[in-house]
Amino acid sequence: MNKLQQQSLKAKDARYVTEIIYEGFAEGNANHAKMQATLDELLIRTVQPDTTTLPILFGGAELNREYYNLFVIGGEKFDGINFTVPKTKALVASIEPDVKKRFFNLHDDRVVEQILRLPSLFMSENADYMKSYPGQKALLGCVTELTVEPNNIRFSFYAYAQVYQQRITDISKNLGIMGNPGCSELNNTHWTIKRIDLMKALTKIG
């Protein structure tokens, strides 16, 4: 646990922390509460709401807190190192026109580099409009690689904290998560980018 006592999380440590998170998902794991407490302490140490970047480093680059990636994938447990999003569900809905214009060209290496510097929320679809499954978790982390395939976009990622998804649902308006009457953005598989300081919003709910 010595690495978790550091003031920032380095790229070489991310895999270790990810393994802890995934172990914590196991039902009946006696160490779950201890793991969660350790990760919560790490998040508190690294999140600085009054700054413009999150001081957690991946590949030597600081994360940009002006925007964040939102991934909602039906049936995805995010228990591996990568996942895919259909091209038809990528940056086409629930996104402001100017944000879409800035990030839509995924064949531009400069655009991809910007996307890799955004904090990210990884979520499975909600069970109902504003209700998550009991114990359903969302992951906080970042994308480490983006690959454009013929029909999908493949993402590799690191996760370094988890939160009950219902807490995210409860503050969805604060996170810029939209929805129509009778439907929530968290009910549909998609990838979008929000112009919101994700870390500041999450800090407010502890």
What is the DSSP track for 52-101? Answer: SEEEEEETTEEEETT-EEEEEETT----SSEEEEEGGGBSSSS--HHHHH
Tell whether 7 is covered by a domain.
no
Q: Are 198 and 58 in contact (CB under 8 A)?
A: no
Tell whether 46 is covered by a domain.
no
The whole-number pLDDT of residue 84 equals 97
Tell whether 52 is covered by a domain.
no
One-letter amino acid of 68: Y
The whole-number pLDDT of residue 182 equals 58
Tell whether 24 is covered by a domain.
no
What is the DSSP track for 107-137? Answer: T-HHHHHHHHTSEEEEEEPPSBTTBPPTT-E
The whole-number pLDDT of residue 189 equals 95
Tell whether 47 is covered by a domain.
no
Among 179, 203, 180, 159, which Cα is nearest to 69's? 159
Mean pLDDT score, 12-32: 51
Range of the domain at 168: 59-204
Tell whether 160 is covered by a domain.
yes
Tell whether 14 is covered by a domain.
no
Tell whether 123 is covered by a domain.
yes
pLDDT at 121 over 90: yes
Give residue-wise pLDDT tens across range 63-98.
799 999 999 999 999 999 999 999 999 999 999 999
**What length is written for the chain?**
206
Q: What is the number of structural domains in the chain? A: 1
